[in-house]
Amino acid sequence: MLSLLQEKLEGAFKKLRGHAKISESNISESMREIRMALLEADVDFKVAKDLIENIKTKALGEEVLRTVSPSQQIVKIFHDEMVELLGRETAPLDLGQPQRILVAGLNGAGKTTTSAKLALLLKKQGKRPLLVACDVFRPAAVKQLAVLGESIGVPVFQPSPDEKDAVRAAQQGMEWVKQQGGGIAIYDTAGRQEVDDELLAELVKIRESLQPQEVLLVADAATGQQAVSVAKTFNDSIKVTGLILTKLDGDARGGALLSMKQVTGCPVKFVGVGEKMEQLEVFHPDRMAQRILGMGDVVSLVEKAAEAIEMEDAERLAKRVQQAKFDFNDFLGQMKFMKRLGPLESILGMLPGMGKLKDLNVDENRMKHTEAIILSMTPKERSHPEIINGSRRKRIAGGCGRPVVEVNQLIKQFEMMRKVMGNKGMMKGLMGSMMGGA
């Protein structure tokens, strides 16, 4: 599964390994390699281009983590972007009322097999699935569903062999479901060799009649970009709620999987990974990204290194506070840190005797204003707040659109804070009021 994609990506990352630093030039070269790997894996052109752009921007903008190599850091960025591309979060099946799932797709995509697989998956979750055959064109398909249903112990509705109208067959199916006492009904529809207007018109009618919670399109991963364009066409006509990509086990390239969400806007909800009834998996973007990269250890290594850097920053800051060297730059860093991590306690709590500051309420707006004021200061003003005289205060106020009195207030509080650095109780109160606390 996806072996070619894995191989190509591995090759691209190998070339990056020798570089000691991430620079514009070596990153461009590696990104070219990765882009080639993606295109060879049949990933949509625009999807590959955007992905590469995002990785490049992030790699160049990101703080270098000392304990990991640039290539490891890029693996992590690539991993995160791939998770994003695959849909970020697992898209759950909507099982609200009416519990109807319409399954559509071209002939041979795997509709009938997948309908039965899905029924089995739901059954294993303790639900009550029912299968409804609506393919009035191919009696063999009805028979196929009946056989599969029997093998997994799920009741199957079969329309009369004389019924030639798919919409009527679906309606009869709904009646049958009622008689069965309800359950999650999976409607397996007819396909065609390729997308045509007749098929789409028929599906629109069935959709209107059924009003299903879920419209799942089954597409064959091995057909690559063709599967993506089929999904797009179906979605434009019948508004698909989720995709099921089948035959991923036989797909070395992965182009369809990587492009689907981005091109169609629909999430992949399940993937078929074999012919057996149990071989349907709920699709998890993060797990798939790990599987493709096969570098889970690198991803967690980089995560840990990033955490370590944050801790180092926090400790360095705590030291500066203790030595009363804290300036507006530190203050700004502190605010950024807070936005990411939330608790100011994590830093102040490191100061001996400070403990946890539970009563420090942070007012978001006040924080934004404080940040805007500091950002309007020049670097020199930030590191030497004592030079901020009257005219500088006016300029700062003008720059950030806050009243001069607010600028005055912030500087005054800040000066007091620096003076009382030794007195932790007082400092806690002052920091609190600068952050908007009571």
Query: Would you say 342 is a known binding-site residue?
Result: no
* Residues near ligand GDP (CB under 6 A), total: 19
Residue 90, annotated ligand binder? no
Q: How far apart are CA 41 and CA 60, in angstroms?
A: 26
Q: Is 94 annotated as a binding residue?
A: no
Relative orientation angle of helices 255-264 and 225-238, to the nearest 10 degrees: 30
State the minimum distance, in angstroms, from the CB of residue 104 to ligand GDP.
Answer: 9
139 binds ligand GDP (CB under 6 A): no
If one asks whether residue 191 binds ligand GDP (CB under 6 A), the answer comes out as: yes
Annotated binding residue 120? no
Number of residues that this document lists for the chain: 438
Residue 198 token pair: 């007749």
322-328 contacts at long range (C-beta below 8 A, 24 or more positions apart):
322/351, 322/421, 324/418, 324/421, 324/422, 326/417, 326/418, 326/421, 327/382, 327/383, 327/384, 327/385, 328/374, 328/377, 328/381, 328/382, 328/383, 328/385, 328/414
Task: Report whether 50 belongs to an annotated binding site.
Answer: no
Residue from 11, 18, 98, 108 that binds ligand GDP (CB under 6 A)? 108
H-assigned helices in 41-160 = 45-61, 70-85, 111-124, 139-152
Between CA 327 and CA 23 the distance in angstroms is: 31
- State yes or no: 249 annotated in a binding site: yes
Beta strands in 181-259 (DSSP E): 184-188, 214-220, 242-246
Task: Rule CB under 6 A: choose which of 113, 241, 259, 370 binds ligand GDP.
Answer: 113
Nearer to ligand GDP, 235 or 246 (CB): 246
Q: How far is the CB of 31 from ligand GDP (least distance, A)?
A: 33
Asked if 329 interacts with ligand GDP (CB under 6 A), we say no
Residue that is written with structure tokens 């005055």 in the block: 408
Asked if 109 touches ligand GDP (CB under 6 A), the answer is yes
- Is there binding between residue 149 and ligand GDP (CB under 6 A)? no
Is residue 98 near ligand GDP by the rule CB under 6 A? no
Query: Residue from 111, 253, 402, 428 that binds ligand GDP (CB under 6 A)?
Result: 111
Q: Is 188 annotated as a binding residue?
A: yes
Per CB under 6 A, contacts with ligand GDP among 37-66 are none
Structure token digits, residue 195: 């997308």
Evaluate whether 296 touches 290 at the Cβ level (below 8 Å).
yes
User: Which is closer to ligand GDP, CB of 71 or CB of 113?
Assistant: 113
**Is residue 119 a contact residue for ligand GDP (CB under 6 A)?**
no
Query: CB 133 → ligand GDP: shortest distance, Å?
Result: 10
CA 348 to chain centre: 33
List the beta bridge partners of residue 242: 216
For the chain, give the longest Cα–Cα distance.
92
Q: If binding is defined by CB under 6 A, does position 69 make contact with ligand GDP?
A: no
Residues 268-327 that bind ligand GDP (CB under 6 A): 272-275, 279
Q: 48: annotated binding-site residue?
A: no
Binding residues: 105-112, 188-192, 246-249
Residues that bind ligand GDP (CB under 6 A): 105, 107-114, 191, 246-247, 249-250, 272-275, 279
Binding residues for GTP: 105-112, 188-192, 246-249
